[in-house]
Amino acid sequence: MAEVIRMPKMSDTMIEGVIANWLKKEGDVIKSGDIIAEVETDKATMELENYEDGTLLYIGVKVGEAVPVDGIIAIVGTPGEDYSSLLAGAPAAPAAAVEASQAPTAAPVAAAPVAPTVDLSSIPAKAVRMPKMSDTMVEGVIAKWLKQVGDVVKSGDIIAEVETDKATMELENYEDGTILYIGAKEGEGVIVDGIIMIVGEPGTDFQPLLQQASAPAAPAPAPVAVAASAPVKEAPKASEAKASPSGIQADSKGGIIKASPLAKALAKEKNINLNWLQGTGDGGRITKSDVENYKPNAGGATGNFISGEESFEDIPNSQMRKTIARRLSESKFSAPEFYLTMEINMDKAMGARVSMNEVLPVKISFNDMVIKAVALSLVKHPKVNSYWMEDRIRVNKHVHIGMAVAVEDGLLVPVIRFASEKSIAQISAEAKELGGKAKNKQLQPKDWEGNTFTVSNLGMFGIDQFTSIINSPESCILAVGGIKETVGVKNGQFYATNIMKLTLTCDHRVVDGATGAAFLLTLKQYLEDPIKMFI
């Protein structure tokens, strides 16, 4: 008897999952315990385990598409078995998840056309749409095209790299044919389910697919049909190319800058504007060696400026940057914040760090010492370790320290769990591991969920003092400045000393001034006399 495979709830905050990759296909024989797919939740990709023995009869969701928790994603049973009754009325994936030509005959699902009088099934071409690659994704940005108009593609080919709010992911093709149309250039955004490409037989009139599309594509150039004998590429307009972060830019006179894909990638990595380079390749094309040999002051350019000319560069916001902006704006304008700053004498801490690094298996940083001291201070001041829950205040009786980590496109906050119960060596090792995972976008849900307090440290950048925005629903966040050598006065005598400034941002709905000040005082005692952290 056929059995339904549904989208499981893989975390306490999960509402839907996105199929990142199918590891099995229709017709495969699978057993309980087999990994059949990879599912992307809010911030991680996790393996989906099968619990039914049989043949995979039906896959209802394509790679990149989202399914609500408990929605049908596949059916397992006996070959030839009628499973149409299992699909009837079931909470399956969105309508666009299954093309009419691929759905079972008993329960076809197709994208609804605007004008049903046009028979799109007679057109030998298919629209490739922007999949929903995360539960918070509204649109995707084409980071890089790996194929172009006129190329022959097959199901399973990687056709593009798409930037979401959390990561840049590969976009897999599921249609065989020739690319007839590309509807978005590199750097342009496309809404979820918007048309990004059309694949079909060369010479096909695909205009009806665009006219009848149920979801509009991002701004795109006029479509170019492809003749069977002579594939035609779409030439980017200068005005559109200028804003592309991939390296397809307009020069100062409005012409198109030609550059190889490798040169574009290298220029982006090195933060080099292609306007500054003189190409040595065919037709003035910029090559990899041109980027590698670029001298900052060559060609009249000074730093990011072009001598004697007014110029600018528009850089589209990444999906991660948009999410950071939305969430921090919500926190900033909903929580009545106030700030408390205290100076910490770090002379003894500096000496203690030298001694610890002589005997411990890992190198202790000042940030490790701050996290340890914060964790112990939160145990003594649980009100600071609380959540604002609108109708109540939740006082957490465990300490999970969020550690703000800067990554290329924004900020991630991995969590050191039960930090108050761990040694400083354990905290140091875990902080290094989580920091590496964050920079490589390898964090899993357990790595970022559940923080009760956050530490943000900019001291390594030479910042003396700053304020941070609270990471909701937490009540406080600590901003850590750098250690600065300065002059102190004691008994009328001047002496050299080392000072570090800490600023605590507090949500006044939960933490009062006296409560925040008491927490900082305890923290000061730990850092100014580190031996107290170990007795």
Residues 183, 197: contact at Cβ < 8 Å?
yes
Gyration radius of the chain over CA positions? 28
Q: What kind and span of H or E run contains 169? A: strand 168-172
CA neighbor of 186 nearest in space, from 224, 136, 153, 148: 148
Coil, helix or strand for 369? helix
d(CA 120, CA 103): 16
CA atoms within 13 A on the CB side of 352: 20
The catalytic residues are 508, 512
- Please tell me the chain's helix, strand, coil percentages from 3-state DSSP, rounded to the nearest 5: 25, 30, 45
The values of phi and psi at residue 193, to 5°, are 75, 5
Coil, helix or strand for 371? helix
Residues 41, 11: contact at Cβ < 8 Å?
yes
Separation of CA 238 from chain center: 30
List helix spans (H) across 107-206: none
Residues 58, 27: contact at Cβ < 8 Å?
no
Long-range CB pairs of 288-296, under 8 A, 24+ apart, other chains included: 288/260, 288/262, 288/263, 290/263, 291/263, 291/266, 291/267, 292/266, 294/270
Taking each helix axis as running N to C, give the angle between helix 366-380 and helix 513-528, from 0 to 180 degrees, rounded to the nearest 10.
130
Residues 91, 22: contact at Cβ < 8 Å?
no
Strands 410-412 and 177-182: unpaired
Long-range CB pairs of 443-447, under 8 A, 24+ apart, other chains included: 443/43, 443/44, 443/412, 443/414, 444/44, 444/46, 445/10, 445/11, 445/41, 445/42, 445/43, 445/44, 445/46, 446/417, 447/414, 447/415
Amino acid symbol at 475: S
Coil, helix or strand for 532? helix
Q: Which residues contact 418 (CB under 8 A, 6 or more apart)?
A: 398, 399, 400
